[in-house]
Structures are given as C-alpha cells and as structure tokens.
Structure 1
Amino acid sequence: MTVLRACLAALLGVILGANVMAQNAGSGTVLDTLFAKLQAATDPSAIQSLEAAIWEQWVMVPDMSQRALMMRGIAEMQQQELKTAIETFTRLIGVAPDLSEAWNKRATAYWLMGNFPASLADICETVKREPRHFGAYSGLGMIRAEMGENARAVAAFELARKWNPHIAGIDGEIERLKSLGGDGSAGADPLGCGRPST
C-alpha cells in the first residue's frame, strides 16, 4: 500500500496547493471537458495538468466570503492546524452545504487526525455532491482497507480508477485487496455511504 499512500500524499499536496482564486465560469461544463480529456490522456505532463485543473475547479468558490473560508481552511491544513481547519470547513459547510470540496477538505483533515468515522461521513457527503471525485474515492478506499473492509475498499478504488485511470499504484492495490477477499460483493451499499454507488 506504500505506493498508493505516496500517490495520495502527492494528491494531498495538489489539493492543498490548488489555486482557489480561479474564475468560476461554467464549472460544470469545464469539469465535463477536463474529465473527458483525462480519460483520453496518455502524456504524463498532460495528465498531471488535467488533474491539477480538476482540483482547481473543485476548490473554486465564487462567493468572496466563502472563498475566504476555503482559503483559510486550506492554509490551516498546510500549517497542520487540523482542529482549526475542521472548524473553518465546518463554518463553510454551514453556509454552503452543497459545496462538495468543503466536505472533502474536512474529510481530509479528519483523516489526518485519525478520525476515520468522521472522515468517512464527510467523504460520503462529498461523493453525493460530486460523484466523480476520484480523490474522495481514493481516501475512502484507504480507510476501508485500513478497517479491513476489503470489498468496500475495492469498490471505492474502482470508482476512483473509473474517473481517473492514471492514479499510480491503484491497479496493484485493487488486485492486492481482491486477493485478501475483496473480490466478493460489498452488498447493496458497496461504499458504505447508505446508497448504491454510481
């Protein structure tokens, strides 16, 4: 799992370093285009650029006060002020509950603190709002694997791979988990989020 952990650590760097000041012009259409290009991309530098552009779209907040909260929370995470970051993202969720990345950022902070139940709950809220969130699915897979829920981990990693087939180490991790019994059915709620996966 070390390769996948290293990849997710790198993803965390992209998450925290994403440009929050980008303009929000038709982000749904922009994301659709970026995801289509990501599926077809083969050049490593193009893949990296597309991944960064998707993260940038996710952290966009058009409202200035909400943007300030997002930027503050990201800065607090960068400074390892995780409890404060959780408070900031909780405030942001309170005023913008449909903002998927606010939930994902708080999930990440909870995960870094080792609070898996809270992180899982927020990841489920993230993917409810953004069903293509490969970062959230990757985090969900890691947590499920650490909890020994191999079938649910596989389901999460497969969704991460569906939306971003370029995640380093994910194929090997899926195969490893399947060899440990993760190739069985995860039931009607494969992610453990209280609903069928997409």
Structure 2
Amino acid sequence: MGALRFNLNPVVALCLALSGPAMADPQNTARLDEMYEALKTAPAPEAERLGSEIRLETSKSGSPAMNLLLKRGRDAMATGNTGLAIELLSALTDHAPGFAEGWHARSVAFARAGLMGPAMTDLERALALDPRNFAAIYSLGALLEEIGQPALAYEAYTRVTKIHPHFDDVAEALARLEGETRGSDL
C-alpha cells in the first residue's frame, strides 16, 4: 500500500503542525454578547456595522494558522475552486473542531459542490457550537430552500430576523416564501 499523500500547501501544513488548538477568549465572548444584544434593535445602518463586526469576530479562531486556513478556504471558494476549499476547510475543522465558523465555511463549500448532505451536517455542527450565528442560520435557510423544504427555510429565515433583523436579503427571502408556506387568503 502506498503512502497517503495530502495535497496541502507546505506552508499551511507547517502552520498546522506548529499551531495549538483554537481557544475562546472570555473578553471576546462578553463583547459579542453586547453586540448581539444591540443588533436586535439597531436601525439598519448601525445593524449592518454591528453585523459586520460580529462576523469579523466570529471569524477569529484564536490561532493564526487556523485563521489562515479559513482565509485560504474562502479565497478558494471565491475563485470557484470548491475542491481546494473543501480540502483546506476540512483541515481547519479537523484541527479546530470547536471553531464554528470553520464548519459554516465548509458547509458553504459543500453546498457549492452540490453535496447537500455534508453541507447540512456541517451547518448542524456550526449551529451547535454557535446558535446565534445568523450567517449560518441564513445558510441553513438557503440550503433548505434548495432541497425543497420551504416551510423549514421560512423558519430558519425567521430565526435570522430575531438575531439580525436587517441581515442581507432575509426580508426578501421571507416575502418570497410567505405565499408558499402560509397559503393565501380567499
């Protein structure tokens, strides 16, 4: 039997070998709690700023090596290289299994590759680790819509609005699904 070969960039492999596990920062958690609370009632421009800050904070793993894997995985997705994205983000989830954004990012890559089962599994894991991750909940809604579950997608989008009422096009998604899920008046 031949040796198992990984197709990771040698720099990324070295970073993985030298890094420790990602750790949550208690001060960061308190700051996130405050931002999430403010987000619920913030007017649209302020909500957009707060939402961006929250997404930036939740994209920090606590490890430069893991942050690099997340960045490289996202960059690979941005260029349409979902295979490489899945590979990089799999390394991330293997080495930082407690980092919710790693699971969320890989779920997006799986969905783009048409692998809906693994995408759903990763979203489940991401939301178990961070139930307030409105971007992951939105991704869940989009995935549920994609697989023909409009009522469940509607529920997911509604949950997003309870956390971040002004997130992306969640209002449009709800309006689009309203007729499909709520019926019509006679």
Identity of aligned residues (%): 25
Matched, 1:155 2:155: yes
Matched, 1:41 2:42: yes
Tell me the alpha carbon deviations over residues 145-177 of structure 1, each in whole angstroms, 9 at most, x when there is no partner. Answer: 222212211111111111111124423432442
**Contact 1:82–1:109, Cα closer than 8 Å, also in 2:** yes
CA–CA distance in 2 between the matches of 1:121 and 1:111? 11
| Match in the other structure for 1:87 | 87
CA–CA distance in 2 between the matches of 1:168 and 1:61? 24
CA–CA distance in 2 between the matches of 1:168 and 1:30? 23
Give the 5 Å matches for 1:1-198.
26-44=27-45, 46-180=46-180, 182-183=181-182
CA–CA distance in 2 between the matches of 1:86 and 1:99? 16
Runs of 4+ residues deviating >3 angstroms: none
CA–CA distance in 1 between the matches of 2:163 and 2:84? 31
CA–CA distance in 1 between the matches of 2:75 and 2:172? 33
**Contact 2:39–2:51, Cα closer than 8 Å, also in 1:** yes
**Closer, same or farther in 2 for the Cα pair 1:149/1:90, shift >3 Å?**
same
**Contact 1:154–1:183, Cα closer than 8 Å, also in 2:** no
**Contact 1:150–1:178, Cα closer than 8 Å, also in 2:** no
**Closer, same or farther in 2 for the Cα pair 1:96/1:177, shift >3 Å?**
same
Give the 3-state SS of the residue equivalent to 2:40 in structure 1: helix
**Closer, same or farther in 2 for the Cα pair 1:127/1:183, shift >3 Å?**
farther
RMSD of aligned alpha carbons: 2.0
Q: Which amino acid in structure 2 is aligned with residue 40 of structure 1? A: T
Count of residue pairs the alignment pairs up: 159
TM-score normalised by length of structure 2: 0.77
Where does structure 1 lack aligned partners over 5 or more consecutive residues?
1-23, 185-198
Select the structure of larger CA radius of gyration: 2
CA–CA distance in 1 between the matches of 2:54 and 2:81? 25
**Closer, same or farther in 2 for the Cα pair 1:77/1:169, shift >3 Å?**
closer
Q: Mean alpha-carbon deviation: is it higher for 156-165 or for 114-123? A: 114-123
**Contact 1:138–1:157, Cα closer than 8 Å, also in 2:** yes
| Match in the other structure for 1:189 | none
The alpha-carbon deviation at position 40 of structure 1 amounts to 2.1
**Contact 2:108–2:119, Cα closer than 8 Å, also in 1:** yes
Where does structure 2 lack aligned partners over 5 or more consecutive residues?
1-24
CA–CA distance in 2 between the matches of 1:148 and 1:76? 28
The alpha-carbon deviation at position 87 of structure 1 amounts to 0.7
